[in-house]
Structure 1
């Protein structure tokens, strides 16, 4: 790390290199923050979280009780121990509250004055943050499992679907007209919303090898329901998760299965599972709800880096905060937990053998990428 500081001071390296190295270091030492609590508002499980990208200050949560909560994540107390307060709540006493489980909440990417929620009450609502009243209500014939607003598009807001339930949809952060959708029919499709003829690609786990697909349906991404979907921050890759207990990483341009082996990733949820990918790190990491914990994987190697344990019941969603390299997770225990970087002090053995040949304290997730000797 000292090498990065010296190179940055001398103008030899792009400052972004140091920033990515520090972001990676912080992600690799995430621990449960015992000093930070969240106001417990939800009576049942928490299905979805979203942090606004403008200030990184406010977070939305949606619960199985139909309640939506807006949290302020900043610490105004000046003390190490504090509670993130619920600024406002759309609770059971509101006549505008969703009647059934809220499956997805999302801030409007360009203005915190608006956010969108979707629910099993077959509605999607566009909310005015100031008044906590819906400015628009869209009604559907079936349950709304998920929705997603493009983080970059300014000219459209369109959704595409499958024959079975669409469990997850995500807009590409690279191209405003590209949409990915995952379904209970085991398929993941990429769409160009400028075309009305159909999907661009249907992802095939076997990369077109029909001999390997003899026992499975043609052009399936998983051998079960696909309920998790997430683009990398640059939009070049797409990560999917299915009830076949597998995750797959795809080239979003070609639709090719990169064949990264993550091993068995427990996934028994019949609804959407909100996984996320780090931003600003090298390499990137995937944060995946896995039973009562959150599994952290090296995205491009499949290595299980660590497991974050703290929940008492199934974890359903996690949200990465790119400003501070923090992670928020929530699930059926109704708790929202904050995981923050806690740098580990080197022990005596590490300090004494720091310069010994053949020894390295660098995490294997990025051991070949850099070291302090750089």
Structure 2
């Protein structure tokens, strides 16, 4: 249904406001291109490794780069102008913060799910830091014996504050923010961990991807091992001596849909796979060849209703239809490999970071209402056309106003 049909259906009551909003948001996402009205002031000199938008206000964009900088951007347009530049409001890693900053490349950044005054960062300097966003100082630091590739916090946890940490070791460490120590270790992989994501529907479940080509689903309350091992063949291939594998290459990206029903993964076998998050079954959706030769984690992002997903690939960001497996659009703009994507549901924008050191803003093109053509099917359409068509000199009389508080009762005497 076209936008103008939606507008007319909304006016006559055939479409609810919620349905109209969902349809419009979905249409805008399908029209994404490099934004003409918004750009980001890049202060990094190294590649962008991680992006995360605060889940409380959907306003502050957290960025971690390979030149050990941590940057916070304010994505709200406070200028009142159509065209604006997103400015940085805080930078950590410059000389004034040298004794607090990481020593090497930032591998992952994430806001605390319940309060945007706290965020976490991990680095190849073998540490995980919990930051006070107001003081720009770490409140707690976890040190490890291995390089920290990635970490994640549960987006809905209310009874625990554990952070799942994936390192160059084959184990997943669970750091407890309350005690400042590691609560326990998840052992099951045989090679370094490249991807960690908590379920968005079950607060105690976390999925991990590794260089051993496997994806494991864990319940952190159980010590007996993992719940599921995702099998790309759905149990039909019994010849493999290494057990079930999710990909034929390293698994370096995992992302749950917003409803928690599905999980999508990417690997260095140049394949994208969609899984039933509950049963671990491969849906066998064919997305074609997705170029992925990254030796580091890849950050994908679903849109609001999870019908499409943004996937970094080669020098492009691929906008894929999740259920159909088709390419919606190839977003080109980076000069080097994009590594991370983050969708902003409030602004209906998507941010992508790449090894070229740029953060690009993608959004729907600006459409003037004067470009809309309405069908002349009734008086209401004629009335609307007289307003929206440029150069239309015909004017229409305004509708008579009715005083809703006036006494409209009558009797025989007044009627006579």
Q: CA–CA distance in 2 between the matches of 1:11 and 1:153?
A: 40
Give the drift of 1:21: 1.0
50-59 or 255-264, which moves further after superposition? 50-59
From the superposition, tell whether residues 293 and 174 of structure 1 become closer, same or farther in structure 2 (CA, over 3 Å). same
Match of 2:49 in 1: 47
TM-score (norm 1): 0.88
Q: Say which SS state the counterpart of residue 147 (structure 1) adopts.
A: strand
Q: CA–CA distance in 2 between the matches of 1:34 and 1:99?
A: 36
Match of 2:229 among 185, 190, 202: 202
294-303 or 49-58, which moves further after superposition? 49-58
Task: Indicate yes or no: 2:64 matched with 1:62.
Answer: yes
Maintained 8 Å contact 1:280/1:322: no
Match of 2:323 in 1: 300
Give the drift of 1:41: 1.3
TM-score (norm 2): 0.79
Maintained 8 Å contact 1:40/1:335: yes
Task: Indicate yes or no: 2:146 matched with 1:142.
Answer: yes
Q: CA–CA distance in 2 between the matches of 1:217 and 1:70?
A: 43
Q: Say which SS state the counterpart of residue 78 (structure 1) adopts.
A: coil
In the alignment, structure 1 segments of 5+ residues that lack a partner are 356-374
From the superposition, tell whether residues 341 and 352 of structure 1 become closer, same or farther in structure 2 (CA, over 3 Å). closer
Q: Say which SS state the counterpart of residue 18 (structure 1) adopts.
A: helix
Maintained 8 Å contact 2:216/2:229: yes
Give the drift of 1:77: 2.2
Q: Deviations over 1:172-201 (max 9, x none)?
A: 111111111111110001111121111000
Maintained 8 Å contact 1:30/1:340: yes
From the superposition, tell whether residues 79 and 14 of structure 1 become closer, same or farther in structure 2 (CA, over 3 Å). closer
From the superposition, tell whether residues 343 and 28 of structure 1 become closer, same or farther in structure 2 (CA, over 3 Å). farther
Match of 1:365 in 2: none
Task: Indicate yes or no: 2:97 matched with 1:115.
Answer: no
Match of 1:234 in 2: 259
Give the drift of 1:83: 1.7
Match of 2:83 among 76, 81, 84: 81
**Aligned pairs for 1:1-374 within 5 A:** 1-2=3-4, 4-5=6-7, 15-93=17-95, 94=97, 95-156=99-160, 157-159=162-164, 160=172, 161=186, 162-210=189-237, 214=239, 217-280=242-305, 284-342=307-365
> Aligned pairs, how many?
349
Q: Say which SS state the counterpart of residue 226 (structure 2) adopts.
A: coil
Q: CA–CA distance in 1 between the matches of 2:157 and 2:10?
A: 34
Runs of 4+ in 1 over 4 A off after TM superposition: 1-14, 343-346, 350-353
Q: Say which SS state the counterpart of residue 146 (structure 1) adopts.
A: strand
Maintained 8 Å contact 1:23/1:280: no
Q: CA–CA distance in 1 between the matches of 2:305 and 2:227?
A: 29
Structure 1 or 2, whichever has the larger Rg, is 2
Match of 1:358 in 2: none
Cα RMSD (Å) = 2.4
From the superposition, tell whether residues 79 and 139 of structure 1 become closer, same or farther in structure 2 (CA, over 3 Å). same
Maintained 8 Å contact 2:268/2:294: yes
Q: CA–CA distance in 2 between the matches of 1:351 and 1:11?
A: 21
Give the drift of 1:12: 5.7
Maintained 8 Å contact 1:179/1:192: yes
Q: Deviations over 1:134-185 (max 9, x none)?
A: 0000011111111111110012215344331111111111111111111111
Q: CA–CA distance in 1 between the matches of 2:82 and 2:283?
A: 43
Q: Say which SS state the counterpart of residue 307 (structure 1) adopts.
A: strand
Q: Deviations over 1:56-82 (max 9, x none)?
A: 111010000111000011222223332
Q: CA–CA distance in 1 between the matches of 2:348 and 2:201?
A: 22
Q: CA–CA distance in 2 between the matches of 1:35 and 1:24?
A: 20
From the superposition, tell whether residues 197 and 15 of structure 1 become closer, same or farther in structure 2 (CA, over 3 Å). farther
Q: CA–CA distance in 1 between the matches of 2:254 and 2:326?
A: 19
Match of 1:359 in 2: none
